[in-house]
Structure 1
Amino acid sequence: MNQYKKQILDHYQNSIDFVMSLKRLSEKEWRTQIGEDKWTIAEVIGHFPPWDQFVMQHRIPYIFSDLELPKGPDTEKTNSASAKISRMEEKEETIHRFIAARKELYEAIQQIPDGCWEKRIRIGKTKMFLYEYFYGLMEHDRHHFGQINRTLQSGE
């Protein structure tokens, strides 16, 4: 298996495990802000599924063509809508939505042939290798998971 593909798949499996571990949180912990004027843990986890769906529907299908990848949705609108949903739903539902979307993305990534990982893709005027795109997504996850871990450690 391509080393980049393996690294991304390992990360996505670890992200599923991490979010599953959040089931143990109390309601108070789950609704704790990760910083002043920042999202709660619930909102952070809830903002991932729409983006995972976007990657599956509007990124992965295009990597097999030479077409420019579609422009992403409005970040503020997408994040705001997903945060609102997470504020209203139960912890288990938010976690379930994350895990379902992430498993689907994991499966889609497994289907990407090894030779595609070093293929150049184009998003707007930006050109990058496919692995660089997924590495950026992985770093985004790590950033938020780090915020969650720091929040939980400081609250104990």
Structure 2
Amino acid sequence: MGGFKLMEQYEIINDFNQFSSWLSTLENIDETLWTEPIATDKWSISEIISHILNWDNHLLSEVLPSVRNENGMDFPDFDAFNKNASEYAKSGISKTKLLKEAKDTRKLLVKELGEMPNENLNKPLTANGVTHCPFTGTPYSLLYIVKEFIDHDNHHKRQITQFLKENNLG
């Protein structure tokens, strides 16, 4: 039997939950830094947060229901999906509202993951029709995808932290 042990499952979901707390550290960022690209040809902090929020919404509305029905997980075309997130961040939404949406959505996602039966979390499923991660050879499961999203969160957190340090705020 593959999959993650119960303690590992708890740790993964707990790690995924940490993102909500981290978002609180961004509440006092100056508005100009919030909307300024973090580097040439890169997104702003607001676009990055909107990007993560967009993926969380996709997990909640598409992936979790599909897993509950024991179907594979489907993910949209990244470029178009990410462009929508960028446009949402530039739509005039306030920093406070975007951070609240991101926190509330992550908390709901963590709650739903926590209530999901272990079999659903660990059941091997396809991701866009693929059975195994091409990089690790590990069978895809919801929990494996959540671990990938944690790595994705951490990548963006490092980018934001570095940008804030460069602007003497880290």
User: TM-score normalized by structure 2?
Assistant: 0.82
**Residue 79 (structure 1) aligned with residue 82 (structure 2):** yes
93-102 vs 119-128, which moves further? 119-128
Higher helix residue share: 1
Q: Cα distance, 1:64 vs. partner? A: 3.1
- Aligned letter for 1:85? Y
Q: Cα distance, 1:124 vs. partner? A: 2.8
The match for 1:4 is 8
Q: Which runs of 5+ in 2 are unaligned?
A: 132-139
What RMSD, in angstroms, separates the aligned Cα atoms of the two structures?
1.8
- Aligned letter for 1:142? N
Higher strand residue share: 1
**Distance change in 2, residues 1:151/1:144 (3 Å):** same
**Residue 20 (structure 1) aligned with residue 24 (structure 2):** yes
- Aligned letter for 1:83? S
**Residue 90 (structure 1) aligned with residue 94 (structure 2):** yes
Secondary structure of the structure 1 residue equivalent to 2:61: helix
**Distance change in 2, residues 1:9/1:68 (3 Å):** closer
Q: Cα distance, 1:12 vs. partner? A: 2.6
**Residue 149 (structure 1) aligned with residue 149 (structure 2):** no
Asked if the contact 2:72–2:129 (Cα under 8 Å) also holds between the matched residues in 1, the reply is: no
124-133 vs 32-41, which moves further? 124-133
Asked if the contact 2:50–2:86 (Cα under 8 Å) also holds between the matched residues in 1, the reply is: yes
The match for 1:111 is 115
**Distance change in 2, residues 1:4/1:116 (3 Å):** farther
The match for 2:137 is none
**Whole-angstrom CA distance in 1 between matches of 2:144 and 2:162:** 27
**Greater relative contact order (Cα 8 A, min sep 6): structure 1 or 2?**
1
Q: 4+ residue runs of structure 1 moved beyond 6 angstroms?
A: none
Q: Which runs of 5+ in 1 are unaligned?
A: none
Asked if the contact 1:16–1:102 (Cα under 8 Å) also holds between the matched residues in 2, the reply is: yes
The match for 1:64 is 68
